[in-house]
Amino acid sequence: MIRNSMEEKEEKNKYSIIVPTYNERLNIALTIYLIFKHLQNVNFEVIVVDDGSPDGTQEIVKQLQQVYGEDCILLRPRPKKLGLGTAYMHGLKHATGNFVVIMDADLSHHPKYLPSFIKKQIETGASIVTGTRYVKGGGVHGWNLMRKLTSRGANVLAHTLLWPGVSDLTGSFRLYQKSVLEDVISSCVSKGYVFQMEMIVRASRKGYHIEEVPITFVDRVYGSSKLGGSEIVEYLKGLLYLLVTT
């Protein structure tokens, strides 16, 4: 009985997977292959929001459309690099599913976890399912000691000050009910890592039901990181901002 109703729900649901890209020519192809491999019998679309990558990311996406069909892969480019937060909003405008998944294109978010996000959502009816690296079954590969130290420090600080109720604040591999994402994203102003934190903290303050699934995170193999600079300072500022506004 339970199985049947689960399958029925799965059939009605449509998942829009928003993938922002900037210079991810090779990675986006691999990611899309893996998405299609792991999401069989699921109604979904991939929305690639490319910010005018000079490396020809869009060319590759067009070729992938030929392989997988133009109705399954939507290319919604923007003329220049305008940042991640607005890339999600842009993708969201074109989403036709009732659920939206947000993931990176750099293979550190492996599409093999998509079914567990979907399953968790159906089982619990959650508004948001967020991938966490810091529970049993999760993990990170490829970080040096400094990276681990800052990550742990940031996490302890955020948990002591914000009491967010989720274990991984800065991860960005998440599934949202579309209306919930629209609601939360419109009240978020931060950039970079803080943006992910703001999204989940605001959602938790608004009382949305948030569930977690373990994911593993393998640091990018190809291409280079687009975040950088004075990240720690930005993070601390963001934390303060969240303290006084949420």
Partner 1 sequence: MKHIVKIMALLVALSAFWISLLQTSVLPQSYTWLLPLYFIVSLGCYGLLMVGVGLIQFPTCPHEAILLQKDIVEAKGFLKEKGVDIGSE
Ligand X SMILES: Nc1nc2c(ncn2[C@@H]2O[C@H](COP(=O)(O)OP(=O)(O)OP(=O)(O)O)[C@@H](O)[C@H]2O)c(=O)[nH]1
Q: By the criterion CB under 8 A, which residues form the site for partner 1? A: 25-26, 29-30, 33-34, 59-60, 63-64, 67, 107, 110, 112, 133-134, 138-142, 145, 148-149, 152-153, 155-157, 160-163, 205, 216-218, 221-222, 242-246
Least separation in angstroms between CB 8 and ligand X: 34
- For the bound state, the minimum distance from the C-beta of residue 12 to ligand X, rounded and expressed in Å, comes to 29
Residues 93-122 that bind Mg ion (CB under 5 A): 104, 106, 108
Q: Which of the choices ligand X, partner 1, Mg ion, none does residue 87 contact, using the CB cut-off of 5 to 8 A by kind?
A: ligand X
Angle at 68 between CA 66 and CA 69, to 5 degrees: 65
CB of 1 to ligand X, least distance (A): 41
Distant-in-sequence, close-in-space partners of 73: CB < 8 Å, separation ≥ 6: 32, 45, 46, 48, 61, 64, 65
3-state class (DSSP) for residue 236: helix
Shortest Cβ 140–partner 1 spacing (Å): 6
For ligand X, give the closer residue by CB, 88 or 126.
88
Q: Which does residue 153 bind out of partner 1, Mg ion, ligand X, none, counting CB within 5 to 8 angstroms by kind?
A: partner 1
Cβ-closest position to Mg ion = 106
Contact 53, 82 (CB under 8 A): no
> SS3 of 54, please?
coil
The contact set with ligand X (CB under 6 A) reads 20-22, 24, 49-51, 81, 83-84, 87, 104-106, 108, 220, 225-227
- Number of neighbours of residue 214 by Cβ within 10 angstroms: 17
- Residue 107, Cβ density class (10 Å: 0-12 exposed, 13-18 middle, ≥19 buried): buried
Contacted entry of Mg ion, ligand X, partner 1, none for residue 110, CB cut-off 5 to 8 Å set by kind: partner 1
Q: Cα(22)–Cα(148) distance, rounded to whole angstroms?
A: 25
CB of 132 to ligand X, least distance (A): 15
Residue 124 bridge partners (DSSP): none
Please report how close the Cβ of residue 197 comes to ligand X at its closest, in angstroms: 12
CA–CA gap between residue 147 and residue 162 (Å, rounded): 22
- What tokens does 98 get? 């009732």
**Is 24 among the residues that bind Mg ion (CB under 5 A)?**
no
Query: Which residues in 169-220 belong to E strands, given as ranges?
Result: 174-177, 210-214, 216-218
